[in-house]
Structure 1
Amino acid sequence: MIRCQSLSWGAPGQPLTSPLSLEFDSGSLTAIIGANGCGKSSLLKVIAGLQKPLAGNVALSVPRQSGLSFLPQQQHLDRQFPISLEELICAGFWGRRLSTRLRAQRLKDALENWHLSGLGERPLMALSGGELQRALLARLSLTDAPVLLLDEPHAALDELGQQLLWQHIHTWHGEGRTLVVVCHDLAAVRQHIPQTLLIKNRECVFGASNELIQQTPHTQVA
């Protein structure tokens, strides 16, 4: 569960929206949509504890450090950092005690599930945008966190990559995890995500995805 109470975020003295009071139920799957710069990514960062709110608070039903995993946009990743794809993915094991054998099997499964087998030794700078995004998603999959925050997870993915993404999102949702997904593909939101938070004109509107998007068909999202 994620509970936002009278939450405001943005630059000091410049809140991006009116205060938000909303609860994301445990096991729910929610999209956040809205125009570029409206505060979607910033809201995820506030929920993740990476950015301080201007006012209000966020309460979680799980500890942030061990129970929440955040997928940022890959533009915030330093691709010159000297690690391999495999080392990036293994960061998903951080803070967990697993046997060497189990870690190796989980890594092998993640590479296969995200169609990255054979690429483990490649440095980040040698990866395509789609390969890097799938590696970030593979890292996320190893955390087993009950709360997942995904900021534009479909970015840079080709058709196959997007199919894999939505398959995994439905699997995670079926496992009872709580997912909040920033997405600009309204067709995908209507098809895959049952409820949506729309940020528009500095206001937040929450409702069923089909109804909300149908009522605001000309909303620009990015």
Structure 2
Amino acid sequence: MIRCQALRWGAPGQPLTPPVDFELPKGSLTAVVGANGSGKSSLLKVIAGLQKPLTGKLILDVPRKIGSLSFLPQQQHLDRQFPISLQEVVAAGFWGNKQSPELRSARLKAVLEDWCLSGLEQRPLMALSGGELQRALLARLSLAEAPLLLLDEPHAALDELGQLLLWRHIHAWHAEGRTLVVVCHDLAAVRQHIPYTLLIKSSGCILGPSTELIQQQPQTQVA
């Protein structure tokens, strides 16, 4: 599904790693971990096509159509002053979908209930808590049904209920055969929920089983 060959990324003239090669199979669930500034978020942006790699090749085996890839950014990149309601944020997941208005309405209602957002539909973006906004962004992914999901710190701002909902959905999406790449700083959650980890270091990348790879590394290298 995702194949990187001699890939380097980062600011122009400032690659974050030497050329790296790795492959994430179709239907895999992989965490991306590393120190702050190691390039985790930048790698997701490269995969999403939002940032060009400095060198090398990136090959994505996904359908060439709208909705084949969904990217969850960090909240800090969103304009909380934009005049849009929670329901409109979630409904953006229908983009490129040709379902009937009746089916869309039913699915939207079900997804809002599933993420415990019922009753907040008309609340404006600026009035949402960080956890409510994060659940809304994740609910949007539930509607998108993309085969490739790129999640940049999806656990951020979530309380205990939000965390339970997040991991329940990640496992459900994985069971559906989707490919997920998840930037996550919660190493205990990675060990518990995500089978494989891509560790990014200044010397390169290491891909392996989460229980082994994280356990072998000092906490300061992957937090």
Determine if the TM-score, normalized by the shorter chain, exceeds 0.5.
yes
TM-aligned CA deviation for residue 59 of structure 1 = 1.1
Residue type of the alignment partner of 1:44: L
Give the secondary-structure state (helix, strand or coil) at the position aligned to 2:32. strand
**2:152 and 2:140 mapped to 1: Cα distance?**
14
Residue type of the alignment partner of 1:98: Q
**1:56 and 1:109 mapped to 2: Cα distance?**
43
TM-aligned CA deviation for residue 140 of structure 1 = 1.0
Residue type of the alignment partner of 1:42: S
- After the TM superposition, which of the residue ranges 100-109 and 196-205 deviates more from structure 2? 196-205
Deviating 4+ runs (over 4 angstroms): none
Structure 1 residue runs of 5 or longer lacking an equivalent are none
- After the TM superposition, which of the residue ranges 200-209 and 75-84 deviates more from structure 2? 200-209
- Matched with 1:211 is 212
Contact 1:31 1:193 in 2 (8 A): yes
Asked if residue 153 in structure 1 is aligned to residue 123 in structure 2, the reply is no
Residue type of the alignment partner of 2:212: E
1:37-186 residue pairs with structure 2 within 5 A? Answer: 37-62=37-62, 63=64, 65-186=66-187
What is the aligned-residue RMSD (CA, Å)? 1.1
Aligned in 2, Cα 1:43/1:210: closer, same or farther, shift over 3 Å?
same
**1:214 and 1:69 mapped to 2: Cα distance?**
30
Contact 1:38 1:202 in 2 (8 A): no
Question: Over residues 67-114 of structure 1, what are the superposed CA-to-partner deviations in whole Å (9 max), with x where a residue is unaligned?
Answer: 110000011010000000000111100111010111001100110010
Matched-pair identity in %: 75
**1:70 and 1:157 mapped to 2: Cα distance?**
18
Give the secondary-structure state (helix, strand or coil) at the position aligned to 1:116. coil
TM-aligned CA deviation for residue 18 of structure 1 = 1.2
TM-aligned CA deviation for residue 128 of structure 1 = 0.3
**1:18 and 1:140 mapped to 2: Cα distance?**
33
Residue type of the alignment partner of 1:45: K
TM-aligned CA deviation for residue 213 of structure 1 = 0.8
- After the TM superposition, which of the residue ranges 35-44 and 200-209 deviates more from structure 2? 200-209
- Matched with 1:190 is 191
TM-aligned CA deviation for residue 4 of structure 1 = 1.0
Residue type of the alignment partner of 1:38: S
Structure 2 residue runs of 5 or longer lacking an equivalent are none
**2:124 and 2:179 mapped to 1: Cα distance?**
32
- Equivalent pairs counted in the alignment come to 222
